[in-house]
Structure 1
Amino acid sequence: MNVYEDKYLRDKISRIIARQKEGKVVIAAYKDGSGLPAREDLGQALARAAYPHDYAVGSAGFLNFDSELGAYLYTAKPGVKQPEVITRYQPLSLAEAELIVQERQVCIRAGDTAVTFSGVQTWKGMYEILREINEELARVNAGIVVWKIIPKEGNYTEPADRLFSGAVPRLRNGQALGHVTGYAFDDDHALAYIGLVSYKTSLESLRITLMTGKPLQMVQDGVGDHTLIPNEKYEQAWQAMPEYTSHHAAFLSRLATPGKWEPEDLIAYLLVFRDALDPNADLIRLFIERLKEALEIPILDSWSAVLWKQASNRKYIQKMNVGGDCILGAKIDLQADWQELLSNLLAEKAIALTA
């Protein structure tokens, strides 16, 4: 692959940046890959305005066409509530991108800001890759426009702290999209856990879909699609990410939440996350703790390894599909005949009531 440059885009953005440095708010006439919000994004009715303005933007301000830029300059009315794209308006900066071909990854640095995209479709033309990068940067309001892509090949070591080795999965409900930070679902596609990053409005839309029990679609380039079926109830936690104008939200099924289990539950989920020092030991510990709560017969900690192995052989325990910050998961069948299993193990002296 050769270095790809779009000098026309570079020169155009340079002119826009010069205007922005003069304190101007530049609005694109249409979606043109400039990283600017377009007239249609203002969310208010446009009407022809009296001189010296070209358009009135509702009661919020005015647009004047700048022929040198091929775009509009926005003037806000003092003391009037402004459209969201104006309150979130970001001055632009130009950047170059490194395309790590083997890893299908793009790394962008602009000043103190670093952005990484995974799952880049490297088989596409460089023009198309550049367009998609800039569309995504504009979508997240990064204030960055890439004009040059530099392919890199050779020995590249993937960072150990990446959540996904390939493309980052995306969760959709037909109206909104969120990028997945972690997930866990069973073989029936019942969703035990999902972590998401997106705009708050998108997360709220996905939350409503989840809470109403409607299916969601998880898409991961190069891996495939999964239809995920919500459980009855989820615990949730939200964290603002103001530097990215986004939020991080986590939704954990009640069936996977210690302290929220109920006596009539038929299954339980056990999940281990990436900060665990000994993930396998933690999973077995959670297994024993859950059995102690669910069964009316005594369970000794010393039985954990044997009981885990035998229950797995009988399919009382099933591994879950996990990814991202969730590194291990198991589904426990609480309807299984655990008493028979324990009786057999005691009779075989595989476990004992005394140490």
Structure 2
Amino acid sequence: MTGYLQKGGAEQHRRLSNRVEHAINEYRSQIESERYSTVLDALGYPVYVVGADGCFEYINQEFVELVGYDRETLIGAEPAIIKSDDSVTRIDDALSRVVSSDSPNSAQVEVRIQPREGRDIPCRDHIAALPFETEYRGCAGILRNISEQRRDKQELVNQNERLEELVSVISHDLKTPLTTADTALSLAEETGEQEFFERANRAHERADAIIEEVLTLTKEGEQLVTTDAVAIETVAEEAWETSSRGNANLCITTNSIIEGDPSRLQRLFENLFANAIEHGTTTTRSEESNETERENIDVNITVGSINSKHTGFYVADNGPGIPTDERDLVFQPGFTTIGDGTGFGLAIVDRIANAHGWKVQVTESETGGARFEFTSVIVIDSENSEESSVSDESA
């Protein structure tokens, strides 16, 4: 080595010194890069570097997993391969501000990542320009998936809307029974007659029913967390045990198994059965006792599968049916055509269907009654079974 330096003189010594210094710097850069890479990997976020030519120079494994393209395809490609056009424009605008002397060194931009497969992914892109003196060297970015944040935000909006609806319905629908109760109690205090106490009691019971139904309406609108394989026949029979009365008959023509929440599906059937029985049983007033009595009318309810273009199930009855101009109104909270009804039964049915992602519509049954059809249902097993029927002959 000494002889080599002597032959080359000072110039050779300077060149060798520069090479050694360059090698040391390269080694330090490699060590520093490995440290940064370790830190970034520990964070678990997708990271990328885009060079001055506008193409990817570096991406980590999390980035590859997010976008679905392999590393070989991405390196050397422009960001437009995985970002929407409007996202690329926003990033370019943000970088222009970052590299200007009087702007912050970094920026955050919401972008839409377009993976190789599947839906767009909303992300927040944290970008910064690479250090440079005169010429722009490129930028680095860290992506954060904000899909869950968006869902949480939307759920908060939905909850606020349900709360506003809750307050509106309670303030409106409770006014009548509470006014009735106040009037009845005033008359009871003046006259002492039992009739007015009973009237006040009925008004309070109706107020309790309205509050309970409104709270149920709010709860059933919440998004499903888990679902199970549910046999329609089993859940419908369980619902029938709590809903049947009078001369009512239930016929189940399916044993389809669907994906859903068993307790909410039972609630859906309970409300549909109660609605069919309440509207399908007419009433008359006895001349002798002046009391309301139910006529001995059979109410036939059928639960079956829809096996056409749109799979799902239906609940039909032989009642008076629902007029065409009221079929959209029946799902609105508080809408009722029965004097003592709360008007929340079918609204709850609609909320349960929406929570499952199902579509529900009202049509006319084969007997002229109402038919509620539920489609966009995930059917696990759609085999039909022999008809099973249940009747209730109790008074």
Q: TM-score range by the shorter chain?
A: under 0.3
TM-score w.r.t. the length of structure 1 is: 0.25
* Higher strand proportion (structure 1 or 2): 1
Q: TM-score, normalised by structure 2?
A: 0.23
Structure index of larger Rg:
2
